[in-house]
Structure 1
Amino acid sequence: MSNIQDKVVIITGASSGIGEATARELASKGAKLVLAARRQERLKKLQEEIHQNGGQVIFKVTDVASHEQMEELAEFALKEFGKIDVIINNAGVMPLSPVHQKKINEWNTMIDVNIKGVLYGIAAVLPSMRERKEGHIINVSSIAGHLVFPASSVYSGTKFAVRAITEGLRIEEASNNIRTTIISPGTITTELLETISDPELKSAIVEDTKIGIEPASIARAIGFAIEQPSDVAINEMIVRPTIQEL
């Protein structure tokens, strides 16, 4: 039996990409899923698919940039399943742009979703995990959380922050038997590029991402981290295409 069997797992950003693939991967191994995203129809469709395959899944339309909605998501999971074993803070946006373009609204969106969304997710589940003296918090960073490339200054800043927050949390909560994992994907074929507003930059990035691997590759890495025995923590993984140089 997989160590994932019957674990209650919250996944944000579950309506597409890595979140959607992870939902399928964990459902196939017997997890009880709580899916969150803003697009209700996509969540409903994914729920129906997982149900048809014998999985257990509920969903709640949630904006991770809202502290109140993230608290409500955790309460929903506890009410329906009685516990929260894992949260995967996966929701993110990537509207790349050079700093001189001063796309302030896009900067704020990245900060709200990529940083605050992760913090709100952590804050929502931590009390119940500390009470039980167990739990697993998985935060999705990026290869951009390890290096900075042109037009990624703010985006990379948010992803470096995710890594710093997660490492700090690891140190703080190790004595409470709460595991933390940082997942840093390289080039992946997802909808993330759709958030880039500059057509020329978007076209160039799309060309660069033709080497991308499927979100299912990241989902398997996440599954690997979860299914380790409780005394083993996979603290950080970088997963990228074999041929990706940077």
Structure 2
Amino acid sequence: MFNLTDKVIVVTGGTGILGGAFIKGIADAGGKVVILGRNEEVGREREQEVISAGGDALFIPADVLQQEDLEKVCQQVLDTFGRIDALVNGAGGNVAEAVIGPDKDIFSVNIQALKQVFDLNLYGTILPTTIFGRHMVTNGGTIINISSMAAQSAITRVLGYSMAKAAVDNFTRWMAVELANRYGDKIRMNAIAPGFFVTHQNRSLLTTPDGGYTARGEAVIRNTPYKRFGEPEELIGTLIWLLSDASKFVSGEVICVDGGFSVFSGV
């Protein structure tokens, strides 16, 4: 039920830390993984790692906000593998200028920065979905978006990121219903909402150079029942479940993988 053998799975944001875990998990489960990202050096390394381990991988440099580029990438995937079975919308992140610190005026929001965050997280999810998703109609497929704890409850400072990820949740539910209404059970859409995982983007916000926690990092740990950050590999089980036939009657769900953060009241 959890077998991904010969399934062609496109992963955007494949050169990030979480993307790296996604790629390894898919390859280990037998999937043919198409790695999309902007960091060509990392992308080529990950492609070679999969191939060296006996898997099948293809790295293609791509920006998820460039529609024409994505259409060319899609055609390259079809020319290489002949089909697309799944899409993992892993690209996303925050923009420093969109962060509103405690010393900032909340009535002087940087609107342009908020738009950049929306573009990356929301439209960077919608665009790949529209381009790769249409090729799943015939053979069936599944699409997985990446949500966030910031979409589940109010988290200070990250206004733009929070709103964008909340929109991703809404898109996940809306699209799941529309896909079912139009194509039956051919295409499913779900989302994974990771808890707090240390990545390149948030490392300085959560940890100190000596390996300790910042005040924000301590607050996260205090409100996470597991009392630790997540490890990227701990997302793989949920990812494989959602990609495989083991979850074929699951659609429109946002699955939290967070050590209990989202359900803890703090008391």
Q: Compute the TM-score of the two structures, normalised by the length of structure 1.
A: 0.89
Alignment-derived partner of residue 22 in structure 1: 22
Residue 192 of structure 1 aligns to a residue whose secondary structure is: coil
* Partners of 2:145 and 2:261 in 1: CA distance: 25
Residue 209 of structure 1: how far off its partner (Å): 5.3
Residue 182 of structure 1: how far off its partner (Å): 1.0
Q: For 1:1-246, what aligned pairs fall within 5 Å after superposition?
A: 2-95=2-95, 97-98=99-100, 99-100=106-107, 102-130=109-137, 132-175=138-181, 176=183, 177-193=186-202, 204-208=215-219, 211-229=228-246, 231-233=248-250, 235-242=253-260, 245=264
* Partners of 2:240 and 2:247 in 1: CA distance: 14
* Partners of 1:93 and 1:13 in 2: CA distance: 10
* Partners of 2:52 and 2:31 in 1: CA distance: 15
Task: Provide Cα deviations, 1:150-200, integer angstroms capped at 9, x if missing partner.
Answer: 11222111001001111111111114220111111111122231697xxxx
* Partners of 2:67 and 2:117 in 1: CA distance: 15
Distance 1:37 1:208, change over 3 A: farther
Contact 2:230–2:258 (Cα < 8 Å) also in 1: yes
* Partners of 2:109 and 2:83 in 1: CA distance: 43
* Partners of 2:168 and 2:247 in 1: CA distance: 23
Contact 2:25–2:240 (Cα < 8 Å) also in 1: yes
Unpaired runs of 5+ in structure 1? 197-201
Residue 2 of structure 1: how far off its partner (Å): 4.3
Alignment-derived partner of residue 199 in structure 1: none
Residue 4 of structure 1 aligns to a residue whose secondary structure is: coil
Residue 84 of structure 2 aligns to a residue whose secondary structure is: coil
* Partners of 1:195 and 1:33 in 2: CA distance: 31
Contact 2:86–2:136 (Cα < 8 Å) also in 1: no
Contact 1:137–1:180 (Cα < 8 Å) also in 2: yes
Unpaired runs of 5+ in structure 2? 101-105, 206-212, 222-227
Contact 1:19–1:90 (Cα < 8 Å) also in 2: yes
RMSD of the TM alignment (CA)? 2.4
* Partners of 2:261 and 2:136 in 1: CA distance: 39
* Partners of 1:150 and 1:49 in 2: CA distance: 38
Residue 103 of structure 1: how far off its partner (Å): 3.1
Contact 1:10–1:35 (Cα < 8 Å) also in 2: yes
Contact 2:47–2:58 (Cα < 8 Å) also in 1: yes
Contact 1:65–1:116 (Cα < 8 Å) also in 2: yes
* Partners of 1:90 and 1:28 in 2: CA distance: 18
Distance 1:3 1:232, change over 3 A: farther
Q: Compute the TM-score of the two structures, normalised by the length of structure 2.
A: 0.82
Distance 1:189 1:173, change over 3 A: same
Deviates more, 1:179-188 or 1:96-105: 96-105
- Give 1 or 2 for the bigger CA radius of gyration: 2
* Partners of 1:243 and 1:232 in 2: CA distance: 26
* Partners of 1:47 and 1:65 in 2: CA distance: 22
* Partners of 2:240 and 2:216 in 1: CA distance: 29
* Partners of 2:42 and 2:89 in 1: CA distance: 18
Task: Provide Cα deviations, 1:28-64, integer angstroms capped at 9, x if missing partner.
Answer: 1110010001000000111111111101000111111
Residue 102 of structure 1: how far off its partner (Å): 2.8
* Partners of 1:18 and 1:228 in 2: CA distance: 23
Residue 105 of structure 1: how far off its partner (Å): 4.0
The answer to which structure has the higher helix fraction is: 1
* Partners of 1:77 and 1:203 in 2: CA distance: 43
Contact 1:27–1:50 (Cα < 8 Å) also in 2: yes
The residue type equivalent to 1:138 in the other structure is I
